[in-house]
Amino acid sequence: MVVQHNLQAMNANRMLNITTNAQSKSTEKLSSGFKINRAADDAAGLSISEKMRKQIRGLDQASTNAEDGVSAVQTAEGALNEVQSMLQRMNELAVQAANGTNSESDREAIQNEIAQLTTEIDRVAETTKFNETYLLKGTNGTQENYLKGHDAGIAGTDPNNVTFVDGADKATLTVELKAGKSVTIAGKEYNITKDEKANADTAADGLKVLKDAIGAINAAGETVVINGTTYTSSLDNGTVKFDAGTGTIYSAGELQEKVVDGAKIKVGSGNEEVARDYTLASNITADQAKEKIQTALVQANNIGVDTGTVSATGTIDGDKCTFVIEKGKATVAKNLSFALHVGADADMSNKITVDIAAMSAAGLGVQDLNVKDDSGMAATYAIDAIADAVAKVSAQRSALGAIQNRLEHTIDNVDNVVENTTAAESRIRDTDMAKEMVTYSKNNILAQAGQSMLAQANQSTQGVLSLLG
């Protein structure tokens, strides 16, 4: 029996300290809700948890970034919707102005409205902004954009004989200007003839030459084909008659009266000719047609141009004439470009770039639009320019819509990753309250028992006092 070392008390005290420490940790876990409150609780778990927390908080902000991006895109797209509505109205006005029933005052009124709409397009482009970022007027600096080439309506007159190719800075129009063919230039139809008006009396397709050829027939068995009907000559007492096989006999003079402008005539073994009346303004040579087409192409391609000179140079090679159009340019602001960061890491694949071209009247190619000439051709050519502007706005709206759809999917994916990563982080770091309550209750009981046993152990050495009696 010893009194210097009470091993029972020491053991009871050690166990009580262990229980008290465990009880303290359980209390902390139950109070905080976290299973890991310090690195000592779970060093590896803490490291994993903190990496997950970084990812979760980064993705939460990325989701917000993407939502802000959707808002910016919707702002720009909504403004472009109004721009497109104005362009549609301008197209309506241009079609109206192209009609020949309009007076000068009518076209002046139409021009005034088009000017107001053009100004409003510029105002929308200049003032539409999101969080102090102007969305539709481009960014610092300027660039020169080539405008789209136009065929001045020539290509639509005969698709089989006309080709149009629009290149980066030049456009090419190839037209068949063969004698006997027709071409529509600036709203007027012209017939291509073989010769100049000055030589009309000797031109193979001229009315006089063809009529003289019919009048020169003086033998039986000669044929004249007029618009597909064959007339065969015969002699009646020395007078030439022509029979088409229908029972009707024609004199040479009556046959000559059928030789009119546009009739297809073949005399004897000669070539078939399309008869042309050289006194009519609608009958022109290939060279004259080339000059008229060049003028029309310059007018059609000069809309919206503020830099460079539009020119059209035609070169005749055989029956073909090739026009090379030097296109004009418009000076516009450089495209606006900003990147939305939609990930938790610095990886560049987490960037979604939004590009928006300058949507001003110059950027759309409709600046200084004029529809008030006497003929209505300016308005006709303006229709093509407005159509190009509508297509450009549609393309920009389509691009913004595609980005918005992408961002919405990005948000859904990011939110899903956040949810599942949070669940994983919770399993590592959060306290299982039910399980910890069991541990706490156990330690609470053990602590009370330990205190009782320590008290008993402290009393155990008092038996020594009985020896002193």
Query: All domains of the chain, ordered by start, with CATH?
Result: 55-147+328-417 (1.20.1330.10), 148-193+285-327 (3.30.200), 194-282 (no CATH)
Model confidence pLDDT, tens digit, residues 420-439: 999 998 898 888 888 889 98
So what's the pLDDT on residue 384? Answer: 93
Specify the pTM: 0.80
Strand pairing class (273-274; 264-267)? antiparallel
So what's the pLDDT on residue 155? Answer: 66
Q: Which burial class, exposed, middle or buried, applies to 74 when counting CB atoms under 10 A from its CB (0-12, 13-18, 19+)?
A: middle
| Amino acid making up residue 186 | A
So what's the pLDDT on residue 181? Answer: 86
CA 369, 372, 373, 376 torsion-angle sign? positive
CA distances from 411 to 66, 157, 340, 348, 402 (A): 6, 52, 12, 17, 14
So what's the pLDDT on residue 337? Answer: 94
Model confidence pLDDT, tens digit, residues 169-209: 999 999 999 888 888 898 898 999 988 888 888 999 999 99
Give every residue of the chain whose pLDDT is below 50, as ranges. none
So what's the pLDDT on residue 158? Answer: 63
So what's the pLDDT on residue 149? Answer: 93
Q: Which burial class, exposed, middle or buried, applies to 395 when counting CB atoms under 10 A from its CB (0-12, 13-18, 19+)?
A: exposed
Q: Which burial class, exposed, middle or buried, applies to 105 when counting CB atoms under 10 A from its CB (0-12, 13-18, 19+)?
A: exposed
So what's the pLDDT on residue 371? Answer: 92
410 with 352: CB under 8 angstroms? yes
Model confidence pLDDT, tens digit, residues 77-92: 999 999 999 999 999 9
Model confidence pLDDT, tens digit, residues 351-397: 999 999 999 999 999 999 999 888 889 999 999 999 999 999 999 99
Q: Which two tokens stand for residue 37?
A: 């409150």
Task: Give 249's DSSP letter.
Answer: E
249 with 242: CB under 8 angstroms? yes
